Amino acid sequence: MTKQPSFREIRYNEKRQRILENAARLFAQKGYENVSLEQIAARLKLNKASLYYYFKSKDEMFFLIQMQAIEQANAALEQVLESEADPKEKLREAIKSHVRIATRDYITGTFRQMELVLPRKLMVRVIAARDQFEKNFQKIILEGVEKGVFHRQYWKLAVMSILGTLNAIPRWYSPRGELSAEQIGEALAGFILKGLSVDE
């Protein structure tokens, strides 16, 4: 049986999350390399020492932000995979829910800087989570291939094309742009589904 978190733990976790999101915004604005722990603390009106109560290092913060973003994306995909929808609907939902996550302000900046070098021990965990993301997308497409809804030939290439499209969103998305995240998700899903589907 999982122990209920105490009120103290809940508060600790909420505070930790708030620090993370603020750090993520700072990393996005100024670039990871240019942000010091002092600046993160100042933004939150904390002193640097109390930051260490929550995090061991800036690398740990950046690692956790990346992991959260990928894990949210994976959770969304897994929910889609478990649903009863048909393959086309699953793919549409997968794309739309991913766009929703990828366009959240603090996550946009995170995804944009994914290639930064983390210490190898942390990087392998990020890469493992990203591989899982790729596999989840493959499963969705493969289900459609097996049901004869999506083209079998070059289906892996289609997956890479979809991932390329989705991973690039944080590079060009702006919350001040003409299109909402919903519109972007809907339009990309339409475009991708049309490219991939066997004509009826």
Q: Which residues bind a second copy (CB under 8 A)?
A: 31, 33, 115, 117, 153-154, 157-158, 160-161, 163-169, 172, 179, 184, 187-188, 190-192, 194-196
Of residues 20 and 141, the one with the C-beta less far from a second copy: 141
Least separation in angstroms between CB 194 and a second copy: 5
Of residues 176 and 194, the one with the C-beta less far from a second copy: 194
Alpha-carbon distance of 137 to 78, in angstroms, equals: 9
Least separation in angstroms between CB 134 and a second copy: 9
Task: Report which of 102, 93, 105 is spatially closest to residue 192, judged by C-alpha positions.
Answer: 93
Of residues 15 and 88, the one with the C-beta less far from a second copy: 88
Task: Report which of 73, 128, 127 is spatially closest to residue 95, judged by C-alpha positions.
Answer: 73
Least separation in angstroms between CB 29 and a second copy: 15
Least separation in angstroms between CB 115 and a second copy: 5
Write the CB contacts of 11 (distance below 8 Å, at least 6 apart in sequence).
none
Of residues 10 and 127, the one with the C-beta less far from a second copy: 127
Least separation in angstroms between CB 57 and a second copy: 19
Of residues 49 and 117, the one with the C-beta less far from a second copy: 117
Least separation in angstroms between CB 24 and a second copy: 18
Of residues 55 and 137, the one with the C-beta less far from a second copy: 137
